[in-house]
Amino acid sequence: MVSCVLDTHFEDYNSKQSKNHSSNKNMKIIILLIFLSSSVTTNGQVSSSKGLLASIYSMEIAKRHAKVFLLNNVLNGSENGSSFKMGGLVSASAGGLSTLSYVCSVENKKGILLGFYGNRITESGLPYVSYGFKNLDESEALELLTELKSIIEQNKKTLKRSMDNHIAYVHKDVRFVAFSSGVSIDIYVTWNGFTSRWKFSELKSSLEHYNKFLLNN
């Protein structure tokens, strides 16, 4: 884990035969769109939802993909069934970082999923929403959230002094850059090609929610 203070700016698409041909063509297009809109691909820690109308963030879709990711990448499952519990999705504004707590007593697994969101364009020009999930087990989640919260609190004065001041923090393959927006302290979180925005207040809410979730489970 590495942290440092930066003093820099972060800156940031009419014949019957003809009718039959047209009908068949339209049918092919409809089938293609249905296929694209229902396509969910998982590559490591990323799920993607594609389609002409899939470029808008949806909390419900994000939570559904989180469940699929959890089942495919975190839990082992059992022939007798493995019950697990998911906490509520602690979500920022559309496109911001979200967190989701989970526990599976049968497999003795607890942790948090960091949920990322981004707009993408296919090679054929179709827009789609890409959802990515980074799993943190119980101890790693507590360590990351607690330490990041502490580092930002220690450097609040530096951040508030100028909007040009930033705090950089690295945890394995996840990078955080905290800065003042003039109204609040915000954080850019970068991982696996995603960059999501997170408010410091949302970080604290996620940590508080996770601690309560652990106590009750």
Euclidean distance between the first and final Cα of the chain, in Å?
A: 29
Judge whether residue 29 has pLDDT over 50: no
User: Is residue 149 in a domain?
Assistant: yes
Tell me whether residue 20 is in a domain. Answer: no
Region 176-201 average pLDDT: 93
**What does the alpha-carbon distance between residue 205 and residue 211 come to, in Å, rounded to a whole number?**
10
- Judged on CB neighbours under 10 Å (0-12, 13-18, 19+), 149 is middle
Mean pLDDT of the chain: 76
Residue 197 is classified by DSSP as E
Q: Please indicate, yes or no, if residue 17 is contained in any of the structural domains.
A: no
Q: Which residue from 211, 185, 207, 208 is spatially nearest to 198, judged by alpha carbons?
A: 185
Residue 19 lies in a domain: no
- Please report which confidence band the pLDDT of residue 91 belongs to, taking 50, 70 and 90 as the band edges: low
**Whether the predicted pLDDT of 86 surpasses 50:** yes
Residue 176 pLDDT: 97
The residue range of the domain holding 104 is 2-10+39-215
Q: Is the dihedral of CA 164, 167, 173, 174 positive or negative?
A: negative
If one counts the domains in the chain, the total is 1
Q: C-alpha angle 172/197/64, rounded to 5°?
A: 85
| pLDDT recorded at residue 19 | 45
Average pLDDT over residues 187-194: 94
Q: CB-based contacts of 204: which residues, under 8 Å, 6+ apart?
A: 149
Picking from 129, 134, 127, the residue whose alpha carbon sits closest to that of residue 57 is 129
* pLDDT single digits (tens) 123-179: 888 887 788 899 999 999 999 999 999 999 999 999 999 999 999 999 999 999 999
- Assess if residue 88 is contained within a domain: yes
In a domain, residue 130? The reply is yes
- 18 belongs to a structural domain: no
Give the pLDDT confidence of 30-71 residue by residue, as tens digits.
Answer: 333 333 333 333 333 444 545 444 556 667 777 888 888 998
Q: Is residue 87 part of a domain?
A: yes
Highest mean pLDDT (candidates 16-25, 32-41, 57-66, 184-193):
184-193
What is the pLDDT averaged over residues 75-98?
A: 74
Task: Please state whether the predicted TM-score (pTM) of the whole model is above 0.75.
Answer: no
**Torsion of Cα atoms, 171 then 114 then 98 then 71, to 10°:** 180
| pLDDT > 60? residue 15 | no
Phi/psi for 40 (5° steps) reads -130, 115
Sign (positive/negative) of CA torsion 43, 188, 155, 4?
positive
Neighbours of 59 (CB within 10 A): 13
